[in-house]
Amino acid sequence: LVCSQFRHVALRHYFSSIRVASAKQLAAYTNFHYSLVSRRNAPCDSVGFDYVKTLIAPSHALEAASWNPSLYRNLKHLMISFSSDGRQSQTTRLKCIFSPPATLTPWFPSQLTSLTMTRLWRIDVPLLKIVASAFPSVKILHLSCSEQLDVSCCWPCFEESSTAVVHSPIPNYFNDITKLTDNFADSLEPLTQLTDLHLGIFLSDEEMVEKHIEHYDTPLAFDHTLRTAFSPKAASPHIGNILSQLEAETTTGLISYSVDQDNKIEESQPGACTDDDLPFPHGPELCRTCKLIGSASKVRTRELEASLALARKLKTLRTVGWSSFFTSQVFEVDKVGDWRRRTTTYILRVNGRVRVRRRPW
């Protein structure tokens, strides 16, 4: 009896979190699950996949193994990497993984409240609609594609990776922030329990990365020219690190910009490296030229404006995150996606107004 109880505890712990790398491995887990099911004492006993709380897998493994999410009755966290997908295969694979057979509904367990999808080719309206349809009960949604920018090798690899992913959808895919947030909010509207949203795209214009790549051959000379031609103290548009607006969607109220006087440690601006210390290659977040020409303060305000727009439409949101070239690089224990280039805004709803800032209220 003691041995039986010990095996039960060991299996429960073993199955609590599963990380698979291939369809063959997932199929082996599935066979093991059915083997345990065939030997359980009563139909109501929990065995095998019933213990799984977290599943981590690449998209190609889920498709090739023809996985059945309904077997994971207590699954809470699902993390999928789309590193092997691109322009042609992402949408097809999404539909294959997330679309249930006509005879099987519901397809995903209602307990699933956290979904993470990394290394996407693009975050767009069709993707968001598929997610919203498949996971109506999700509370934490993390989608990212910015980690596809490769700074681990050389400048040609960085340039090639920048063309293989839609890292900055403005202005080529969406004219401005308003168009982007309107489309995204409408797509996510079915997620009535969504509290924490991260969209791993840059809200700076796409040309920022292109311009950064253009001057990598002679970065020092180009940097010196721009720093002497433009003063960093030049006049900039009205900005702030706290934004607020009336919460009513039908109300077209002006956005209020203010400075958070209590926030003594505003997110540090990258680019503190000396010319000799810059990694090779490096992104715009470490480039003084991009910081100057790209207007870091303007981009950071745009991120707050986008968060505010989503918060007004999605009433349950508490945090909104974006990929950003102009944010502090603070180590986080749970390094999901492009964690080094990430900013989070926190939402406060009080007295009919929505407020956002970059630290908890």
Q: % helix / strand / coil in the chain, to the nearest 5?
A: 35, 15, 45
Give CA–CA dist 73/106, Å, rounded: 11
Residues present in the chain in total: 361
Domain definitions of the chain by residue range: 2-210+299-347
**292 pLDDT exceeds 80?**
no
pLDDT of 345 higher than 80: yes
pLDDT tens per residue, range 54-86: 999 999 999 888 788 888 888 999 999 998 888
Per-residue pLDDT at 271: 42
Rounded to an integer, what distance in angstroms lies between the CA atom of residue 297 and that of residue 250?
A: 29
Residue position matching structure tokens 């974006």? 322
Range ranked top by mean pLDDT from 178-192, 211-225, 339-353: 178-192
Lowest mean pLDDT among 8-12, 197-201, 302-306: 8-12
Above pLDDT 90, what percent of the chain? 37
Alpha helices in 17-98, H assignment, sequence order: 23-38, 59-64, 90-98
Question: In whole numbers, what is the pLDDT of the chain averaged over residues?
Answer: 80
The residue that leads in pLDDT, 249 or 131, is 131
- Cα separation, 34 vs 29, in Å, equals 9
Give the whole-angstrom CA distance, residue 142 versus residue 22: 22
DSSP, res 48 = G
Write the CB contacts of 98 (distance below 8 Å, at least 6 apart in sequence). Answer: 107, 108, 130, 131, 133, 134
Predicted local confidence at residue 341, as pLDDT:
82
Q: Hey, which of 51-60, 208-217, 325-334 has the most confident mean pLDDT?
A: 51-60
Region of poorest pLDDT, from 20-34, 75-89, 213-227, 331-345: 213-227
Whole-Å CA distances, 68 to 62, 134, 205: 9, 13, 40
